[in-house]
Amino acid sequence: MTVAPAPACRPTLAGHLELLRVDHWVKNVFVLPGMVVAWSLDPARFAPAAIPRLAGALLSVGLVASSNYVLNGLLDAPHDRCHPLKRHRAAPAGRIDTRLAWVQWLALMAAGVALGLWVSRPFALTMAALWGMGCVYNVSPLRTKDVPYLDVVSEAVNNPLRMLAGWYATGTAAVPITSLLLSYWMAGCYFMAVKRLAELRTFGSTALGTAYRRSFAYYTEARLLNSIAFYGSVAMLFFGAFIMRYRLELILAFPAVAWVMAAYLAMAFREGSAAQNPERLYRERGLMAAVSITTVLMLALLYVDVPALYLFFPPTVPLR
């Protein structure tokens, strides 16, 4: 299939601002759990004096994310012209100057990492890794975006990187918790695979679909559903490991977390599913209700002790 050439349009300031996808900064909410868990382990770091550093950290994440969005917009423009909605974006619609956009890409990265250095060195390294994964995902010859399964795994690694960003933004000396990071990563894979399923149901493995996303030449609904079951199971396994070692009270949140995951999967089977555009999920009232209830419950369980739980889950006596 021949991909349509870029329309003859003039570059505009609005087009270059659109490349930043500031509306996608809502995804930086994934930074907050890292902060919350770090504060629960190191309460002294939760102080008004930390607000400027936290604000700088969130801005740094946004700038680096926008650098990755610019890169994605530039390299995906030929494919986005095959998408009924994305073809109207600035790059595929020809409303940008490509040379200036490459300058944007580098300038945003430099500003984000420099601001990250002001926060802390570990935070800046995390920002560099976040930017580097954007290159791995988008740039040939690696371009993991085109490789089945690896596309999901490599994009979802941004989840634990954002959690690490939140962790290091607090300035805590506590070591990040591996089981929680792995759970966060696999949960990201779960939601990303659901997005792929929703897209596949829209495009299928047609010439148009594979022109938009090459991995659709391999993916089927059955393969994606199998991967979704795998990612969800592994995510909850590591979440359980974290809970049993660090905060048993969170076991009470398991049904609520499962509710959110089930509600999100159900969305993939709806016509014009919002799962294809995660930045618009706030419009899904049912899902937002489930997320809100789960968030409040988990926040409460991080700080409220439930001694009776330990009667049902006593420590195991080590075998000799």
Has residue 286 got a pLDDT over 90? no
- My answer on whether 152 and 263 are in the same domain is no
Q: What is the pLDDT of residues 104-154, one digit of tens each?
A: 999 999 999 999 999 999 999 999 999 999 999 999 999 999 999 999 999
Query: How far is the CA of 201 from the CAs of 59, 169, 220, in angstroms?
Result: 36, 39, 9
In which domain, by residue range, is 25 found? 11-174
Name the nearest CA neighbour of 177 among 54, 72, 68, 36.
36
Same domain, 58 and 152: yes
Taking alpha carbons only, the member of 260, 193, 191 closest to residue 224 is 193
Same domain for 93 and 125: yes
Assess if residue 225 is contained within a domain: yes
Q: Are residues 243 and 126 in the same domain?
A: no
- Residue 318: predicted pLDDT: 60
Answer for the pair 156, 93: CB distance below 8 angstroms, yes or no: no
Taken in order 165, 167, 172, 173, the sign of the CA dihedral is negative
Q: Is 206 or 221 the better-scoring residue by pLDDT? A: 221
CB-based contacts of 46: which residues, under 8 Å, 6+ apart?
A: 39, 170
Average pLDDT across the chain, whole number? 89
Residues 249 and 228: their CA atoms lie apart, in Å, by 27
Per the domain annotation, does 314 fall within a domain? Answer: no
> Cα separation of 280 and 189, whole Å?
19
Among 174, 202, 228, residue at a domain's last position: 174
Residue 315 lies in a domain: no
Res. 3 pLDDT band, cuts 50 70 90: very low
Same domain, 145 and 39: yes
Predicted pLDDT at 205: 64
What's the angle, vertex CA 47, arms to CA 42 and CA 49, rounded to 5? 130
Is the domain of 227 the same as that of 266?
Answer: yes
Indicate whether 300 belongs to any domain: yes
One domain for residues 120 and 190: no
Res 52: pLDDT? 93
Q: What are the tens digits of pLDDT across the range 40-56?
A: 888 888 888 889 999 99
Spell out the SS3 assignment of the chain: CCCCCCCCCCCCHHHHHHHCCHHHHHHHHHHHHHHHHHHHHCHHHCCHHHHHHHHHHHHHHHHHHHHHHHHHHHHHHHHHCCCCCHHHCCCCCCCCCHHHHHHHHHHHHHHHHHHHHHHCHHHHHHHHHHHHHHHHHHCCCCCHHHCCCHHHHHHHCHHHHHHHHHHHHCCCCCCCCHHHHHHHHHHHHHHHHHHHHHHHHHHCCCHHHHHHCHHHHCCCHHHHHHHHHHHHHHHHHHHHHHHHHHCHHHHHHHHHHHHHHHHHHHHCCCCCCHHHCHHHHHHCHHHHHHHHHHHHHHHHHHHCCCCCHHHHCCCCCCCC
Percent of the chain with pLDDT over 90: 61
Domain termination site, one of 153, 174, 195: 174
Q: Looking at the structure, do residues 187 and 73 belong to the same domain, yes or no? A: no
The domain boundary, picked from 149, 174, 199, lies at 174
Phi then psi for 18, rounded to 5 degrees?
A: -65, -35
Over 70: is that where the pLDDT of 6 sits? no
Would you place residue 78 in the very low, low, confident or very high pLDDT band (cuts 50, 70, 90)? confident
Instruction: Tell me the longest C-alpha to C-alpha distance in the chain.
Output: 76
Percent of the chain at pLDDT > 70 equals 93
Q: Is residue 162 part of a domain?
A: yes
The reply to whether the predicted model has a pTM over 0.85 is yes
Residue 310 lies inside a defined structural domain of this protein? no
154 and 35, same structural domain?
Answer: yes
Residues 271 and 133 in one domain: no
Compute the distance between CA of residue 295 and CA of residue 301 in angstroms, rounded to an integer. 10
In a domain, 288, yes or no: yes
Torsion angle (degrees, nearest 10) of CA 203, 224, 275, 240: 180
- What CATH number is given to the structural domain containing 58? 1.10.357.140
Work out the pLDDT band at 186, boundaries 50, 70, 90: very high
Residue 296: inside a domain: yes
Instruction: Look up residue 291 and give its amino acid.
Output: V
Compute the average pLDDT of residues 63-86. 85
Say whether pLDDT at 319 is over 70. no
Q: 210 and 158 share a domain?
A: no
Place of tokens 């990265």: 109
pLDDT of 10 over the 90 cut: no
Please state the rounded mean pLDDT for residues 162-185: 95
State how many domains the chain has. Answer: 2
- Ranges 115-124, 155-164, 228-237, 274-283: which has the least confidence: 274-283
| pLDDT of 294 above 50 | yes
